Amino acid sequence: MTELTDLTIAAARDGLREKKFSARELTDAHIDAIDAANAALNAFNLPTPDKARAMADASDVRLANGSTAALEGIPLGIKDLFCTEGVRTTACSHILDGFEPGYDSTVTTQLWSAGAIMLGKLNCDEFAMGSSNETSFYGDCVNPWRRTGDETPLVPGGSSGGSASSVAAHLCLGATATDTGGSIRQPAAFTGTVGIKPTYGRCSRWGIVAFASSLDQAGPITRTVRDSAIMLGAMAGHDPKDGTSVNVPVPDYEATLGQDVKGLKIGIPKEYRMEGMPAEIEERWQQGIKWYEDAGAEIHEVSLPHTKYALPAYYIVAPAEASSNLARYDGVRYGLRVPGDDIVSMYENTRAQGFGGEVKRRVLIGTYVLSAGYYDAYYLKAQRVRTLIKQDFDKAFEKVDVLLTPTTPGPAFGIGEKSGDPIAMYLNDIFTVTVNMAGLPGISVPAGMSSEGTPLGLQLIAKPFDEPTLFRAAEVIENAAGIAPRPERWW
Ligand code: GLN
């Protein structure tokens, strides 16, 4: 029999309904997997096995009563950016030490109403700032994948490194994640998993620790496109508590799967060819184009002329919003408090000791670009560039239905290889930040292996709220490349 930890969400859901195993058995199998792996992978910064068992037992009662809720009995991991009632939530920052929210985020509330079970909180970059999970206060998270014949520990990507690592290592069936500039799609690409960042406004941001509010979106990381569709269906929806949440009905994403892509127009943005990009990334991209041609789709070259300004503009807008959002961490309201002689030195001591280096860099940059005299030169200009980027996409979508690009400019790199060079790190986001700047949905799908034996991903981008087309197109890659295998267990 297949191990319970090898099931997809779809197969586990069906098995639970058919009473082949219980939610408790499924949950216990994942708790055992976490126990065996977490010392090596550091994917969970807070496993919650007791809570998981209690939730599983409650789910078994509902299953016995015939519950067919979308995620009934499915054990998931939750990125430590989502508030979870009574369970420590820190955004992997020292400054939120000991913070136990009095409420759940809307997304997690919806997951629990759909019957899901929480296995624990997942490691991530501090306040989701990073591309490698190396800025976490809880230490590096490790990618379960290694280069062939090489034991160098690799990053799982970031900021949702724990989400990607735990799903790839079969420690949970799926995980929540967030994406401000690529933090769902880049780790998905590095770990052979599927990661979707839905349209801005599709999932509520309420109760998710804010990084850059005009860019942040929640989405799932899973092992298959079908699982992604199932999980996003449970996470998405209108929420009056988030003013940017959009009141558009959530389609049955799973029901839109399995349709062919004959005649679908696929755009290839010519500007997504970076100098110095490894030949194998270009080869994967060409392979993707071939898969769509074979499936009967039409390929069109399109131009997104402002692409080269997206990264610099993002690294003004995101820090600006972060500096404002992070002003609330002052030692008074929640988390860490480092005493001082008076209130000002208490603020200073708390923020100096509570924030890590990357977060301080962003707060400094953000404060600078928002300051009087520089606001027009930096922040306002970046916002104008953002409009131009959005217009590029609008124009492209007059001609095509989806865009196909690489997700990242290279495969997973080694821990420590880029952490000393912020610019090299930021370049990882080159193909993903444009999508956040324009508020569009984007998905990364495993598309085969690098020459080093590690996963590579291709990215698809669609019009606002056209996640159904994204899933449908994503299946073409999944069918051609195959679902990524479980990485060899070395832990
Ligand atoms: N790597 C990007 C950054 O550091 C994106 C992070 C994210 O999407 N949360 O800002």
pLDDT in tens, 164-218: 999 999 999 999 999 999 999 999 999 999 999 999 999 999 999 999 999 999 9
Start-to-end C-alpha separation, the chain? 23
The domain total for the chain is 1
Residues 372-400 have pLDDT tens digits of 999 999 999 999 999 999 999 999 999 99
**Tens of pLDDT along 418-444?**
999 988 899 899 999 999 999 999 999
Residue 461 is assigned to a structural domain of this protein? no
Tell me if 293 is assigned to some domain: no
Is residue 262 over pLDDT 90? yes
CA pair distance 463, 403, nearest whole angstrom? 9
Domain for residue 286, yes or no? no
Look over the chain and give the mean of its residue pLDDT values, rounded to a whole number. Answer: 97
pLDDT at site 1: 52
The reply to whether 199 falls in a domain is yes
Collapsed DSSP state (helix, strand, coil) of residue 158: coil
Distance 477 CA to ligand 1 centre (A): 25
The CATH number of the domain holding residue 149 is: 3.90.1300.10
Distance CA 10, CA 32 (A): 21
Q: What is the pLDDT of residue 275?
A: 81
110 falls within a domain: yes
- Structure-token pair, residue 157: 């990507």
Based on the number of CB atoms within 10 Å of its own CB, is 51 exposed (0-12), middle (13-18) or buried (19 or more)? middle
Could you give the angle at which helices 23-41 and 49-64 cross, rounded to 10 degrees?
Answer: 160
Query: Closest ligand 1 atom, CA of 160?
Result: 9
**Ligand 1: centre distance to CA 274 (Å):** 19
Per the CB < 8 A criterion, the answer to whether 396 and 269 are in contact is yes
pLDDT in tens, 436-473: 999 999 999 999 999 999 999 999 999 999 999 999 99
CA distances from 74 to 26, 162, 250, 328, 391 (A): 8, 18, 21, 35, 40
Q: Give the Cα separation of 156 and 173 in Å (integer).
A: 17
Over 70: is that where the pLDDT of 334 sits?
yes
- 133, 140 contact by CB (below 8 A): yes
> What are the tokens at 81?
């950016």
Mean pLDDT, range 66-71, rounded to an integer? 97
Residues 6+ apart with CB under 8 A from 174: 9, 74, 76, 77, 167, 220, 221, 222, 223, 227, 231
Strand (E) or helix (H) holding 473: helix 467-481
The confidence score (pLDDT) of residue 148 equals 97
By CB atoms closer than 10 A (0-12, 13-18, 19+), residue 383 is: middle
If you measure from the C-alpha of residue 462 to the centroid of ligand 1, how many angstroms do you get, rounded to a whole number?
20
Q: Is the CB of 442 under 6 A from ligand 1?
A: no
Please check whether residue 107 is in contact with residue 239, taking contact to mean a CB–CB distance below 8 angstroms.
no
Ligand 1, from 79, 123, 129, 413: best to mutate by most atoms within 8 Å of Cβ? Answer: 129
Is the distance from the beta carbon of residue 470 to the nearest atom of ligand 1 less than 6 Å? no
Provide the pLDDT confidence category of residue 277 given band limits of 50, 70 and 90.
Answer: confident
Instruction: Give the burial string for 15-46 (b: 16+ CB within 10 Å, else e).
Output: bbeeeebbbbbbbbbbbebbeebbeebbbbbb
User: Is it the case that residue 2 has pLDDT exceeding 80?
Assistant: no
Structure token digits, residue 2: 């297949």
As a whole number of angstroms, the distance between CA 482 and CA 379 comes to 43
Rounded to the nearest angstrom, the distance between the alpha carbon of 317 and the centre of ligand 1 is 12
- Return the structure tokens found at 46: 């807070």
Rounded to an integer, the average pLDDT of 15-30 is 98
CA neighbor of 480 nearest in space, from 446, 443, 444: 446
Q: What is the H or E stretch that residue 363 is in?
A: helix 357-370
Distance (Å) of CA 446 to CA 26, 213, 227, 476: 26, 28, 14, 11
| 371 prior amide bond cis, ω within 30 | no
Catalytic residue (one of 105, 131, 132, 159):
159
The pLDDT > 90 percentage for the chain reads 96
Bridge partners (DSSP) listed for residue 120: 47, 77
Tokens 């299953």 belong to residue: 63
| Secondary structure of residue 119 in the 3-state scheme | strand
- The structure tokens listed for 338 are 């480092």
435 Cβ below 6 A of ligand 1: no
Could you confirm whether 183 is annotated as catalytic?
yes
- Measured from the Cβ of residue 145, the count of other Cβ atoms closer than 10 Å reads 25
In a domain, 329, yes or no: no
**342 part of a folded domain:** no
Which of 139, 187, 134, 136 has its CA nearest to residue 164?
187
Strand-strand pairing, 217-222 and 174-179: antiparallel
On whether residue 122 sits in a domain, the answer given is yes
pLDDT tens column, 90-115: 999 999 999 999 999 999 999 999 99
Q: Which residues, at least 6 apart from 191, have a Cβ–Cβ distance to it below 8 Å?
A: 143, 144, 145, 156, 157, 164, 165, 167, 168, 412, 455
Question: What mean pLDDT do residues 282-304 have?
Answer: 98
Helix (H/G/I), strand (E/B), else coil: 80: coil
Instruction: Give the number of the atom of ligand 1 that is nearest the alpha carbon of residue 426.
Output: 1
Q: From CA 131, how far away is CA 390, in angstroms rounded?
A: 23
Region 288-309: what's the mean pLDDT? Answer: 98
Q: Is 213 a catalytic residue?
A: no
Q: Which helix (H) or strand (E) holds 445?
A: strand 442-449
* Tokens standing for residue 116: 């899901």
Question: Is the CA virtual torsion 279, 282, 284, 286 positive or negative?
Answer: negative
Q: Is the minimum distance from the CB of 128 to ligand 1 under 6 angstroms?
A: yes
CA 13 / ligand 1 centre spacing (Å): 32
Query: Which residues have CB under 8 Å from 102's CB, separation 6+?
Result: 85, 86
pLDDT of 11:
98
- 196-162-230-268 Cα dihedral, nearest 10 degrees: 20
Is the per-residue pLDDT at 284 higher than 80? yes
- pTM metric for this prediction: 0.98
Task: Tell me, yes or no, if 79 is annotated catalytic.
Answer: yes
Residue numbers of the domain that contains 243:
4-262+473-481
What is the reported pLDDT for 216?
A: 98
Please, where are the H alpha helices in 65-181? Answer: 106-113, 161-168
Helices (H) and strands (E) in the chain, counts: 15, 11
CA distance 80 to 56: 21
Q: In 130-272, which ranges are E strands?
A: 174-179, 194-197, 217-222, 265-269
